Structure 1
């Protein structure tokens, strides 16, 4: 497998993990309610998603509420995942590899 396709595949996998972690964190927030901070799994998912959420908070303007940042991060990860899929398909066709 060419290195560029491998790199795009690894990036896409990292985006998937972060996206699923955000989904899990959101589901636990709904299920646990106000006691979510006491849930060990919620805290683990928060640690996994912290770099993504901090990055999105850094690039967004201050008038965006902090409560909306995880949802915005999920949508940005979703579109990044779509873009990486298109890039991978293009690279596979350039190299003549069936992906």
Structure 2
């Protein structure tokens, strides 16, 4: 059961990480009109909670690019740690 929960959590973290990458790609592609793009808004909705958590930990609150990069790094580190834990249990 624990292996399933670890796998499910890894899947959620992976989805959030890929959504952050998609958000960055759409920001580059759509430019100034990105708020009009439905896909960009979907990615923004999916990643809002982890980005807010990272922003609350940053000393300067007006750094969305840094918050996005740090959020992706934190998600990647959590994904790797969960993978190591799963291998240890299996």
Deviation per CA, 1:9-46, whole angstroms, max 9, x where unpaired?
11100100000000001000011111111111000110
The structure-2 alpha-carbon separation of the partners of 1:64 and 1:89, relative to structure 1 and needing over 3 Å to count, comes to: farther
Deviation at 1:64, TM superposition (A): 7.1
* Structure 2 Cα separation of the partners of residues 63 and 45 of structure 1: 21
* Structure 2 Cα separation of the partners of residues 87 and 59 of structure 1: 26
Structure 2 residue corresponding to 1:28, chosen from 21, 26, 29: 26
Q: Secondary structure at the match of 2:47?
A: helix
Larger radius of gyration: 1
The structure-2 alpha-carbon separation of the partners of 1:49 and 1:63, relative to structure 1 and needing over 3 Å to count, comes to: closer
* Structure 2 Cα separation of the partners of residues 23 and 63 of structure 1: 21
Calculate the TM-score normalised by the size of structure 1. Answer: 0.84
State the partner residue of 2:37: 39
Q: Which runs of 5+ in 2 are unaligned?
A: none
Is 2:51 the partner of 1:53? yes
Name segments (4+ residues, structure 1) moved above 6 Å: none
C-alpha RMSD of matched pairs (Å): 1.4
Deviation at 1:57, TM superposition (A): 1.2
* Structure 2 Cα separation of the partners of residues 85 and 30 of structure 1: 31
Calculate the TM-score normalised by the size of structure 2. Answer: 0.92
How many pairs were matched up?
90
